[in-house]
Amino acid sequence: MSKVTVVGSGNWGSVAAKLIASNTLRLKNFNDEVRMWVFEETLPGGEKLTEVINQTNENVKYLPGIKLGKNVIADPNLENAVKDADMLVFVSPHQFMEGICKLLVGKIKDGAEGISLIKGMEVKKEGPCMISTLISNQLGINCSVLMGANIANEIAMEKFSEATVGYSQHKEVAERWVQLFTTPYFIVTAVNDVEGVELCGTLKNIVAIAAGFVDGLEMGNNTKAAIMRLGLKEMMAFSKLLFPSVKDSTFFESCGVADLITTCMGGRNRKVAEAYARNGGKRSFEELEEELLKGQKLQGVLTAKEVYEVLSHHGWLEMFPLFSSVNLISQGRLPPSAIVEHSDNKSRCLYTRKFGNSSL
Amino acid sequence: MSKVTVVGSGNWGSVAAKLIASNTLRLKNFNDEVRMWVFEETLPGGEKLTEVINQTNENVKYLPGIKLGKNVIADPNLENAVKDADMLVFVSPHQFMEGICKLLVGKIKDGAEGISLIKGMEVKKEGPCMISTLISNQLGINCSVLMGANIANEIAMEKFSEATVGYSQHKEVAERWVQLFTTPYFIVTAVNDVEGVELCGTLKNIVAIAAGFVDGLEMGNNTKAAIMRLGLKEMMAFSKLLFPSVKDSTFFESCGVADLITTCMGGRNRKVAEAYARNGGKRSFEELEEELLKGQKLQGVLTAKEVYEVLSHHGWLEMFPLFSSVNLISQGRLPPSAIVEHSDNKSRCLYTRKFGNSSL
């Protein structure tokens, strides 16, 4: 019987614990108890967050109003939370993962399996720092990923949704993750393409910025759909240049086209980019981010900048007119309207020649 | 020098004539003049529509306010309009095509090439009646198609957009069509998959109905994205069952994912389906169609019914839970909420087994 621990207890982490807890109760091959590591906080009333979660069965701070299941046990002690776990679900903010991994070295069970639900890797000049790779390398365990069109609050309310597990080696492992997460309203599919799935979760944020520009310029649904499609193709092309093993089919999964749609329709990247274009680029992203997101952080602008450096480093800029434009616009080096003017003949030709129909 | 005739002069036909006319003037291998066959009408003031178009350069009835180009000549005489044409652009309402073809038999130039911009073929039990095939068979000419995320009025205003040419045999022919339609704001790509491209233009309307149900039920972006993705996969699967030559990559083109996005965001199918779900299925589609569309017709409900018959005939219903549900819901045999309940284990399993990742 596998024991499961969720490392992280924010909004998405709490929803993940809820999904998992409903399955460990139901399925014989999992231990009922789901341990959830909680970064301890003292609530305004003076109580400890973990104590309140364990008493009320709710994460009152990050997912109020939703019962997690009585078999979810909040644990403020990271080492204790992971020590017996056979399956580790990583779902903390990405900037904390390096620190968490360091604390976990040597503390986890032999043969444990990991899965990362964390979107938003860094993309360095040498290539992207996949969070699954970080976990895998630091802890010496196999690490899959789960991504998709997953707005945590909607899943918490049990609205129908889907997700994709990306795995690298063992199909049986992927099937166990699928079992652990699937519910009647949350359908999970596994694909043998961990890099493709994880890259989708990061690159989509660049496209969402582009979609936001189109919204701000009031260019209509046609243009927005065209920009989303071009973005999807650049996501595929970029992923395949970095990892030739990446599969086109991954982009038809929830982690690909569906997450892209959700992110370009709602989502904070789109929202701030829309405001940026409405202001004609005269107010900076930092300023709008502060005003509109109240402390939450934008991923897309940073990712666009990082990806631009990779493209520039390899001489690939002309093949990625959309990714390039998003960066140049958000840095104030091009006006927002440039998002649809990147299609000058030269780059378009190069682009089509390289990634047009023949590449598919 | 090729002569071009546009057969049809509605909203989309007029925009097509405008796009084409800007290119025949610019490119040496086309005759400047673009002839546009207009079904003659007498306007409220007593003038003939063709005369007004030729005097004002505007289709005052179907695309007011937009100059078509002085080289567009409206012609009320079908036979005269087509007799010298080397390239025939078909863009009349689909229910008129059979009649038009009959009138054209023996009247067109040897070696002429056709292209259909008409969305909405019928799907009969024996399979779909492709409009390109109808034209091709009736007139004995080769016929390509052009489809995409193309809201006519947005393209008329020169907002950035894309389209896909589907061709069956000669790449050079497709390239000529691409040349004829491409402008700096309208980017056209050719794919060797006429059936795939044409089927996209019809099947997307079923998915738009599903998306409308999700909107009416207020299920959020997550669910909507999931439904659109499942719809896209059923579009692929259905097309490939009917025509094994259909390519997955076609669904990444403008005719596929981009047109699907536009249609599921705006669009009349989505709109009426939303109203249907909001009313809990208590008011019929016919009633809502009349109230909301004021004379325009819904494609999606009819297509869903036709496709259902094909699925039923072949015993494929369980493999297409979304397509099936759309029909059963719009016929009042299931409640709108069934759109997300089609994912019961049995059909989902079958579906995944048959069209999951392995098929891609």
- Tens of pLDDT, residues B29-53: 999 999 999 999 999 999 999 999 9
- Say yes or no to pLDDT of A83 above 80: yes
Q: What would the pLDDT profile of A218-234 be if each residue is shown by its tens digit?
A: 999 999 999 999 999 99
Name the least confident of B80-84, B251-255, B280-284: B280-284
User: What is the structure's pLDDT at A258?
Assistant: 97
Main-chain dihedrals φ then ψ at residue A18, nearest 5 degrees: -65, -45
Res A351 pLDDT > 90: no
Q: What per-residue confidence (pLDDT) applies to A123?
A: 82
Lowest mean pLDDT among A44-58, A296-310, B16-30, B215-229: A296-310
Report the pLDDT averaged over residues B283-301: 87
Q: Which of A207-211, A354-358, B233-237 has the lowest mean pLDDT?
A: A354-358
Residues of A in contact with B356 (CB under 8 A): 189
Q: Is A137 annotated as a binding residue?
A: no
Q: What pLDDT is attached to residue B294?
A: 78
| Contact assessment for residue B234 and residue B320, using Cβ atoms and an 8 Å cutoff | yes
pLDDT computed for residue B354 by the predictor: 42
- Domain spans in chain B, listed from the N-terminal domain onward: 2-192, 196-356
Which pLDDT score is estimated for A350? Answer: 40
* Chain B hits for A221, Cβ within 8 Å: 149, 151, 154, 261-262, 265-266
**CB B146, CB B162: distance < 8 Å:** no
Contact check, Cβ <8 Å, A159/B229:
no
**Chain B residue closest in CA terms to A345:** B184
Lowest mean pLDDT segment, chosen from A197-201, B297-301, B307-311? B297-301
Q: What gap in Å lies between CA A125 and CA A58, rounded to an integer?
A: 42
CB-based contact (8 Å) between B340 and chain A? yes
Q: What is the pLDDT of residue B342?
A: 55
* B50 Rama sector, left if φ>0, alpha if ψ -120 to 50, beta otherwise: alpha
Average pLDDT in chain A? 92
Mean pLDDT for B265-282 is 93
* pLDDT for residue B346 is more than 70: no
- Compare CB distances from A151 to B187, B220, B233 and report the shortest one's residue: B220
Please say if the pLDDT value at position B352 is more than 70: no
Q: Residues 6 or more apart from A82 whose CB is under 8 A from it? A: A5, A7, A35, A37, A88, A104, A107, A108, A109
Is residue A359 scored above 60 in pLDDT? Answer: no
> Is the reported ipTM for this assembly greater than 0.90?
yes
Reported as a single tens digit per residue, the pLDDT across B138-185 is 999 999 999 999 889 999 999 999 999 999 989 999 999 999 999 999
The CATH number of the structural domain formed by B2-192 is: 3.40.50.720
Taking residues B65-73, report their average pLDDT. 97
Backbone φ, ψ for residue A9 (5° rounding): -150, 35
A133-156: per-residue pLDDT in tens?
Answer: 999 999 999 999 999 998 899 999
State yes or no: pLDDT of A274 exceeds 50.
Answer: yes
Res B94: pLDDT: 85
What local confidence, expressed as pLDDT, does residue B169 receive?
87
> Measured between CB atoms, does B39 come within 8 Å of chain A?
no
Whether residue B353 has pLDDT greater than 50: no
Question: Shortest CA distance to B12 belongs to which of B167, B145, B119?
Answer: B119
Kindly identify which residue of chain B lies nearest to residue A234, measuring between CA atoms. Answer: B252
Shortest Cα–Cα distance, B227 to chain A (Å)? 8
Smallest Cα distance from A339 to chain B, Å? 10
Please report the pLDDT score of residue B295 as a whole number. 73
Look at the domain A196-356 and name its fold: N-(1-d-carboxylethyl)-l-norvaline Dehydrogenase; domain 2 (1.10.1040)
Residue closest to A17 by CA, chosen among A81, A73, A85 = A73
pLDDT at B215 over 50: yes
Chain A, window 201-240: residues with a beta carbon less than 8 angstroms from a chain B beta carbon:
219-230, 232-233, 236
Structure token pair of residue A153? 């609050």
- Identify whether the C-beta of residue A335 lies closer than 8 Å to the C-beta of residue A280: yes
B204 carries an active-site annotation: yes
Vertex B167: Cα angle to B163 and B171 (nearest 5): 105
